[in-house]
Structure 1
Amino acid sequence: MKKIALLLALLLCIGVAAGCSQETSSEQEGKTVLSLYSSIVNDSEREMLSSIVADYEKEHPNIHIDMNFPGEEYENMLRVKMAANDLPDLFDTHGWGKLRYGEYTADLQDMDWVQNLDPNLDQILKDENGKVYALPLNQAKDGITYNKTLLDKYHIEPPETIDEFMTAMKSVKEKSNGEVVPFWFAGYDKSSIAQFFDQFATPLLITDKKHDRRESLKNGTFDWPNYTALPAILKEMNDQKLLNVDAVTAKPSQLIDLMAQNKIAFTISGGSLGQDVANVNPEVQLGIMPNPALHEGDEPSWIGGERHTLAAWKDSRHLDEAKQFLAFIAEPENAKKMAEATSLPSALTNVEAEIYYSESYKRYEHVRVEPYFDRVYLPNGMWDVMGTTGQELLAGMKTPEDVSKKMREEYLRLRNK
């Protein structure tokens, strides 16, 4: 026991000494060190952010930016840091700028780039007092990805309503003699099914004035049978064999090759899918469309808002330097680089990013962007519930009514946690 205690003490001393030497080294170099944490996982996206940081450090030799990419551990790591009230100088709010990190972020409304912030992001990154919570590095607009090559071949226009969507899928199945999957799911990863529910819950329960349930969802009085229509739609698609037969077991890694072989008409996947498919088969062109309206008289809608951001910790000892870096990365040249590296539109109106889906986003630039449904209207933890109940629905283990019942139980349980 004494040996173990001695070893632990030695390790502690080494750790303390390493920390002290690192701090001394930074002081000796005469540099201000800014910590930066990002949830970015894609290698090319990390490289671009690192490249912009390197450019900044060349222009500001008195500043060093210590970059961290924790990957899957990002969210847990930031929760620990929030609990200790010891956040990084700069950090990614990854969709939770107001709802989770709001009390920790500095107000950025006095920065020059704010005048160019896309108005679609106002409800997501601003509050009623004008506070701006983070600088968005790109802008998420999630909808349905479609195989433009196939739709052109079959003379099918991208659908705008759920009825048109069902008709389009049936036409694909008929005209391809069953060789093409109308709507493909990588259901082995339950997130793909959760994403379907998240995207379609917005037109079901939010955007149509006659079916606007946002207040009851927020205050806990929502009547969950109103949700049943959504799993019923997914079940109908499955019953009519409009989904891939392995929708519950298919893996995301299969998507690129199948799309490149013209085996898929519609799927839920954005980001770099279009470019990835083009790299395999340049003859196949993809597009992306907003989520179809579910109620008569309603319009299609995107869901999204912030994807990757950088916020400044309000209690940072180097807040001025942190904001100085934000001003640098918001410069049009750098903002364009980040948007293009992530294959998403820029969040700044003075930046025109050249990305794979530029034509699609231009076509639908008039379509409104609604916040992610689960982030605004559901308690933390419901994402897994949506994914799991969807898997069980497709596997025949649950009815649409069962799904709504389970959603209600978990919604109430997690709200009271």
Structure 2
Amino acid sequence: MKKLMNMSFIVIAFSLIVSGCSNSASNKAAGDDDKVTLSLFSSMNNEGEKKAFESVIAKFEEANPEIDVEVNSPGDYEDMLRVKMAANDMPDLFDTHGWSQLRYGEYVADLKDMDWVQNLDPALNPIIKDEDGKVYAFPLNQAKDGISYNVEVLKEYGIEPPSTLDEFMKALETVKEKSNGEVVPLWIPGSDKSAIAQIFDELATPLLITDAENSYGDQLVNGTFDWKNYTLLATKMKEIQDKGLLNEDVLTAQLQQATELIAQNKIAFTFVAGSLGPDATELNPDVKIGTMPVPAIHEGDKPSWIGGERHTLAVWKDTEHPDEARRLLDFFAQPENVKTIAEGTSAPDALTNVEAENYFSVFYKEFEDTAVQPYFDRVYLPSGMWDVMGTSGQELLSGSLTPEQLSKKMGEEYERLRNQ
């Protein structure tokens, strides 16, 4: 009898456990564990940009409570993505930041059947689409990179936005002289090698591509380029430093300092862009930040915008949640969200069915006839040269490389990376 009672107790206990597990499973099915979580990597790093981007994500999650979006914006974005590519373990969505085809092409799903494709700005077709019609990513905005400047500082010292490198040098010298050193003529956050790479990349285009008599695009692509032709760029950067036209802390200055300094009218020119304008004006309503194309270097040439895709969202071809990922892209393509991103990133939108105004719209209008050239490294250099431009630029400004040695190092790394 005692044995029978023990058996009964075991059966009842087992039934309770099974029932509890069943209820637990039922509760899970009805709760958060039913949500789909999309992993998303973005290269946005300015606070204003991230704020605009995350506000659209929050709206999407509110409208789609069954989907969570985990946003990651690592400072070492490129290195992180290289590791993930090597492991074939990509995020569900990720920013191709100018490399939709050349670097990430084999990892992205084709988006050509999505409704927003018909409204893509044709200027992006060579960058976002291939000759077979594959669409590699949704462009959140597009780039028109140049030089940012403090409108009031230039006005006070009688400086017009320069259109040539010689005019730019003269403008820097004028700022130094007339401000008695109180205003930094050209401010660079050189603690970040990417900030220095950005400058060398933008200036390489007028140095080596756009002028008919100094155009080396074919040689750069086929590997026959003589890197002595690059030395002028390093020479000019060193000259700017030697004349005291750069911030003295160029190698320790950090990107986040730009907003406060330019809001205090302590910076005349900088290559920092993104949300710099609206962020500075929020700190000081009396400040106005402008943007201008990259000056021509050779006599007879014209200024250029440097651009193409800025920030994008591509879908990993092996994602387990393709429908949810595409739903997020459709949400970003809604006109009100396109406008939010354009305003938050101070960059032109990428869709023809949207009239999005942003902080720099008046300046883009002023220079609307200026040609947009693609980023130099994305067309003419092998993958990995961005880091080389940044580190060699830092070494130049630290005095550990001469302009000639910098060009030699660029050539050696160019050959090494081409042969990988």
TM range, smaller chain: 0.7 to 0.9
CA distance in 2, matches of 1:247, 1:259: 15
Structure 2 CA distance for partners of 1:406 and 1:50, relative to 1, 3 Å:
closer
Deviations 1:279-301 (A, max 9, x none): 33222211011111112222211
Structure 2 CA distance for partners of 1:145 and 1:35, relative to 1, 3 Å:
same
2:307 to 301, 304, 307: 304
CA distance in 2, matches of 1:70, 1:266: 27
Structure 2 CA distance for partners of 1:269 and 1:45, relative to 1, 3 Å:
closer
CA distance in 1, matches of 2:195, 2:54: 30
Instruction: Trace 1:4-403 onto structure 2 (pairs within 5 A).
Output: 25=28, 33=36, 35-39=38-42, 40-42=44-46, 45-60=49-64, 63-72=66-75, 74-403=77-406
5+ residue gaps, structure 2, are 1-23
Structure 2 CA distance for partners of 1:122 and 1:208, relative to 1, 3 Å:
farther
Structure 2 CA distance for partners of 1:215 and 1:258, relative to 1, 3 Å:
same
Letter in 2 for 1:192: A
Structure 2 CA distance for partners of 1:220 and 1:297, relative to 1, 3 Å:
same
Letter in 2 for 1:256: T
The TM-score normalised by the length of structure 2 is 0.84
Cα RMSD between the aligned structures? 2.7
Shift of 1:28: 7.5
Instruction: Kindly indicate whether the alpha-carbon contact (under 8 Å) linking 1:188 and 1:249 is maintained by their aligned counterparts in 2.
Output: yes
Deviations 1:353-408 (A, max 9, x none): 33222221222223222222223322333223222322332333322111111111
CA distance in 2, matches of 1:119, 1:75: 27
SS at match of 1:311: strand
Instruction: Kindly indicate whether the alpha-carbon contact (under 8 Å) linking 1:53 and 1:65 is maintained by their aligned counterparts in 2.
Output: no
Deviations 1:168-223 (A, max 9, x none): 22222333344332212222333322221111001111222322222222222211
CA distance in 2, matches of 1:326, 1:74: 21
CA distance in 2, matches of 1:160, 1:26: 63
Pair member with larger Rg: 2
CA distance in 2, matches of 1:291, 1:27: 56
SS at match of 2:233: helix
Shift of 1:158: 0.5
Number of aligned positions between the proteins: 395
Deviations 1:222-252 (A, max 9, x none): 1101101111111222233322333334333
The TM-score normalised by the length of structure 1 is 0.85
SS at match of 1:299: coil
Query: How many percent of aligned residue pairs carry the same amino acid?
Result: 61
CA distance in 2, matches of 1:410, 1:158: 35
Instruction: Kindly indicate whether the alpha-carbon contact (under 8 Å) linking 2:38 and 2:321 is maintained by their aligned counterparts in 1.
Output: no
Instruction: Kindly indicate whether the alpha-carbon contact (under 8 Å) linking 1:156 and 1:168 is maintained by their aligned counterparts in 2.
Output: yes
CA distance in 2, matches of 1:249, 1:225: 29
Letter in 1 for 2:101: K
Instruction: Kindly indicate whether the alpha-carbon contact (under 8 Å) linking 1:120 and 1:368 is maintained by their aligned counterparts in 2.
Output: no
